[in-house]
Amino acid sequence: MTDRPDPLRVRDVRFTYPGAERPALDGVDLDVRPGECLALLGPNGAGKTTLIRTITGMRAPDTGTARVAGDDPRWATTRSRIGVMLQSTAFPSHLTVRELVEGAAARAGRTARDVDDVLAEVGLEDLATRRSHRLSGGQRRRLQLARALVVDPTLLVLDEPTEGLDAESRRATWDHLAARRDAGMAILLTTHLVAEAGEVADRVAVIADGRIVANASPEVLVDGLPDRTIHLATDVPLDQARSLSGVDHVTATAAEAGSRSTLSITTRHPEGILRSLLASDPDASDLRVVGASLEDAVLAITADHPTRDVVDRPGGADARPGGPSRRSPTGPATMPVATATTTTSAETAPTGTDRTPARLTDRTPA
């Protein structure tokens, strides 16, 4: 039906590291369509890095297929259509910005004609003759982006692209990419900043235990989490708030003697709880009711999947089950972004099916 294959199509990819007991990738399916931005989220050790390595041609899967624009990324020619921004910002020293960008274009069979445009696009036009080892962290990031964009990629793979960038540069980066997406470039993004993923991605895929356990728009993922959190300053004691029907979880921010404490009450029925609270304490103040964030949703999804231990590997963190990992106890999934929310989610782990991720997949019909 289509004359152009999808920028990315991953089908039933499985991969087990030599000597590992459990697979790092356990039947992954993933698509990214032209112009689409897909954020791949998941705890450390869930398989993100292994999947990125498979998609960028660094690794062949044991079984299954990964195709970029219809071709195997293990072929060098396929890789000329992938723009990749990896976490490491190292460059060979002594090469200039222009040489590095021209080099990337030439290796992909592109003419050097577009180099000036791309340098301007990422804001490096004034640093074209600077040698890479004299660049700041943010400038190195932009150089990476320029090298990825100069090949006019079908698929742009961004592995933690805005790490080390300030808010302004981060926004600027996504502004540049918006125009490219309008022109049909697809983006696969991994990031620890779940909020950023929610802002820029059309779709969020959550990977846990080597499987894609949710794949939907950020809105759909958040809607799947009915929790609301009520914050208010009140005289109502913690125990009384806990005893209200429909309350999942309460935390109290310690108050100074004599003053009111601030309660944070997690519930799926905020209206009833609020009525009871205000009846008990009409003077309650600083009232806020907030819905679940994408971060909460991702944590809830991954909490249902016992994670494996994480062993840092050179060149990227990924799960290497077996070996040294047996010595450490298996803990709950932790997103690096997790704050106190982690505890909350774990304590209030739902017994019902409301958070079952299976319902959260809204694959667009092909």
Partner 1 sequence: MSTSTTPLSAAPTTRRARSAGPGAMTLLALEVRDEMRIIRREPAALFFSVLMPVMFYMLFVALFGREMPTGASRPVGTFMLATFGTYGAIVATMMNPGISLATARENGWFENVRVSPVPVGVHLAAKVVATVPFVAGILVAMTAASAALGVLEVSVTEWLALMAALVIGSQSFALVGLVVGALASPNAATAILNAIIMPAAIASGLWFPLETMPAWVSTVATFLPTYHLAQLAATPLGGGPWMTHLLVLIAFTGVAGLAAAAAWRRADA
The residue ranges that bind partner 1 (CB under 8 A) are: 1-2, 5, 11, 17-18, 56-58, 67, 69-72, 76-77, 79-82, 84, 86-95, 99, 103-104, 106-109, 131, 157, 314-316, 365-366
Cα–Cα dist 160/147, whole Å: 16
The secondary structure of 136-194, three-state, reads CHHHHHHHHHHHHHCCCCCEEEEECCCCCCCHHHHHHHHHHHHHHHHCCCEEEEECCCH
CB of 287 to partner 1, least distance (A): 49
Tell me whether residue 314 or residue 352 sits nearer to partner 1 (CB atom): 314
Tell me whether residue 107 or residue 326 sits nearer to partner 1 (CB atom): 107
Tell me whether residue 156 or residue 333 sits nearer to partner 1 (CB atom): 156
Pairing of strands 82-85, 155-159: parallel
CB of 79 to partner 1, least distance (A): 5
Tell me whether residue 105 or residue 177 sits nearer to partner 1 (CB atom): 105
Do the beta carbons of residue 71 and residue 77 sit within 8 Å?
yes
Cα–Cα dist 229/293, whole Å: 10
Tell me whether residue 34 or residue 103 sits nearer to partner 1 (CB atom): 103
Tell me whether residue 17 or residue 174 sits nearer to partner 1 (CB atom): 17
DSSP, res 81: T
CB of 197 to partner 1, least distance (A): 22
| 3-state secondary structure (DSSP) of residue 321 | coil
CB of 35 to partner 1, least distance (A): 17
CB of 31 to partner 1, least distance (A): 9
Provide the sign of the torsion angle of the four alpha carbons 333, 335, 343, 359, taken in this order. negative
Tell me whether residue 71 or residue 304 sits nearer to partner 1 (CB atom): 71
The CB-based long-range contact list for 175-183 (8 Å cut-off, 24+ gap) reads 176/121, 176/122, 176/145, 176/149, 177/37, 180/149, 180/156, 181/35, 181/36, 181/37, 182/35, 183/35
Cα–Cα dist 217/172, whole Å: 23
Cα–Cα dist 238/347, whole Å: 17
CB of 330 to partner 1, least distance (A): 25
CB of 42 to partner 1, least distance (A): 20
344: left (phi over 0), alpha (psi -120 to 50) or beta: alpha
